[in-house]
Amino acid sequence: MDNIGVTYVNGHLLGTNEPWMSPAQYEISKHLQAGTNVIAIKAINQGGAAGLLASLVIDGKLEYGSSRNWKVTVENVAAGTADWKNVAYDDSDWSDASELGPLGMPPWNFSRLLDQAVPVDPARPTRLTLAKWLVRDDHPLTARVAVNRYWQMLFGQGLVSTPDDFGLQGAYPTHPELLDWLAIEFRDSGWNIKQLLKTIVMSSTYRQSSTASREAYDQDPQNRWLARAPRYRLSAEFLRDGMLAVSGQLNRRVGGPSVYPSQPHGLWREISHFGYGNAFSAQAFYPSDPNGQARRSMYTFWKRTSPPPSMIAFDAPTREVCAVMRSRTNTPLQALVLLNDPNYVSAARALAILAMTEGGESVGQQIDYMFRRAVSRFPTGEEKRVLGDRYESALAAYQKDPEAAARLAGSEAKLSDAVVAAWTVVASVILNLDEVITRE
């Protein structure tokens, strides 16, 4: 009942349904009597439209669900009566209820609790009807729109540059035959997304280099004709998941509940509703354990009024409204996130420890190991020299400041704090390279 429902059986008060978002359930058998029994509900609406969902379950079977057969009376007749709970015994002047919907309608779905499916009128279109229409073989848009979105995800720009408008005012596809071929392949594969992505990333078009001559850039500055690979900064989720994979931390478990990666302390409290009982969810933030924090970004719990700051810094949408295309910015704040966010610091530390334990004995070998894991190539002589110098300077600084070294190194008791901290700094430099955060 929205907002409050007070329930009586034969004059006995059973209770109220506060908070209104949760259904109240009562055992009434002890209040039943031989002959006529009366269930009366005092409905209190505090504003706006309201309705009542109620039912009686006898021997596990739904009986007497709220419907137009129920009798109702207005507030002035019953609610103002001193002994209103007994007025229901004489309902001669009461009106028939108005039925707003079937008993199984949201928000409480009593029929679902009883494992009884809500009846479907075959003559009335449903969401299933719409879904089947969208994927019909003769529907011209669904497969094209989907393929274009995945192409946009991989190339930075779709074959149709207006992914939210395939109509007369939208852009014409740069490669219409390719778009149609991919759409048909996608549909005929049973809408297999993995197969579609594999087809695209294994193509010679995707595997090109973004390096091109000045003449080529001048002829096609936006790369609409795909003569070279696109070059753009990776999206927020790709960046985070890539860092976890390079550092060996990525938890590849599929499915399960959402997780809570680290974020600034007290951030949710600023927009929370503390003091309102249990009517609101997600009011306090508690970080997941390390295993949970290493899960893919798609499992990150998302509070739309306070989204993860490290994601927003890299232009992830807040999800308050649908966004078919993300903006792409490059700001100093992004570098600060990569250098200081706990998730990225932890990834740098894990990569450093991998290099120390698996990369070889010498400084040069360990630099080669980290560099190749991050960018899939060995460093040049100049790059190796710069990183080696950075290691030596960081090591000297942390040997003079054991407390700072211990804070950065964490709990790796078997390894020297100063050495772990110094290699963490080098790993952080590598993970911040343009080649790591940019699709070349």
Domain end call among 184, 219, 254: 219
- The answer to whether position 118 is within a domain reads no
- The answer to whether position 393 is within a domain reads yes
- The answer to whether position 358 is within a domain reads yes
In this structure, the answer to whether residues 328 and 383 fall within a common structural domain is yes
- The answer to whether position 224 is within a domain reads no
Cis peptide before 107 (omega within 30 of 0): yes
DSSP state of 304: T
Q: What is the pLDDT of residue 117?
A: 44
Pairwise CA distance, residues 233 & 20, whole Å:
47
Q: What is the pLDDT of residue 375?
A: 94
- The answer to whether position 52 is within a domain reads yes
In this structure, the answer to whether residues 242 and 215 fall within a common structural domain is no
Torsion of CA 292, 297, 299, 303, to 10 degrees: 110
In this structure, the answer to whether residues 273 and 237 fall within a common structural domain is yes
In this structure, the answer to whether residues 212 and 332 fall within a common structural domain is no
What is the residue-level pLDDT of the chain in tens, covering all 440 positions?
Answer: 556 778 888 888 888 876 666 667 788 888 888 888 888 877 776 665 566 777 777 776 666 666 666 677 765 444 444 454 555 556 666 777 766 555 444 444 443 333 444 455 667 888 888 898 899 888 889 999 999 999 999 999 999 999 999 888 899 999 999 999 999 999 999 999 999 999 999 999 999 999 888 888 899 998 999 999 989 999 999 999 999 999 999 999 999 888 988 888 878 877 776 655 455 667 778 888 888 889 999 999 998 888 899 999 999 998 888 888 888 898 999 999 999 999 999 999 999 999 999 999 899 999 999 999 999 999 999 999 999 999 999 999 999 999 999 999 887 657 889 999 999 999 999 999 999 999 98
- The answer to whether position 119 is within a domain reads no
Q: What is the pLDDT of residue 101?
A: 54
In this structure, the answer to whether residues 256 and 359 fall within a common structural domain is yes
Residues in CB range of 425: below 8 A, 6 or more apart: 348, 390, 391, 394, 408
DSSP state of 295: B
Domain end call among 69, 86, 113: 113
Residues in CB range of 202: below 8 A, 6 or more apart: none
In this structure, the answer to whether residues 203 and 239 fall within a common structural domain is no
Which helix (H) or strand (E) segment holds residue 232: the answer is strand 232-233
Q: What is the pLDDT of residue 76?
A: 46
Q: What is the pLDDT of residue 182?
A: 96
In this structure, the answer to whether residues 404 and 258 fall within a common structural domain is yes
Measuring CA to CA, how many Å separate 164 from each of 144, 160, 170?
12, 9, 8
Pairwise CA distance, residues 362 & 409, whole Å:
20
In this structure, the answer to whether residues 285 and 190 fall within a common structural domain is no
In this structure, the answer to whether residues 58 and 36 fall within a common structural domain is yes
**What pTM was estimated for this model as a whole?**
0.68
Q: What is the pLDDT of residue 30?
A: 82
Alpha carbons within 13 A on the beta-carbon side of 125? 6
- The answer to whether position 123 is within a domain reads no
Q: What is the pLDDT of residue 107?
A: 45
In this structure, the answer to whether residues 292 and 431 fall within a common structural domain is yes
Q: What is the pLDDT of residue 112?
A: 36
In this structure, the answer to whether residues 440 and 305 fall within a common structural domain is yes
In this structure, the answer to whether residues 315 and 261 fall within a common structural domain is yes
Q: Which residues of 242-277 are buried (b: 16+ CB within 10 A; e: fewer)?
A: bbbebbebbeeeeeeeebbbbbeeeebeeebeeeee
* Domains contained in the chain, number: 3
| Boundaries of domain holding 215 | 130-219
Are 159 and 148 within 8 A, CB to CB? yes
- The answer to whether position 167 is within a domain reads yes
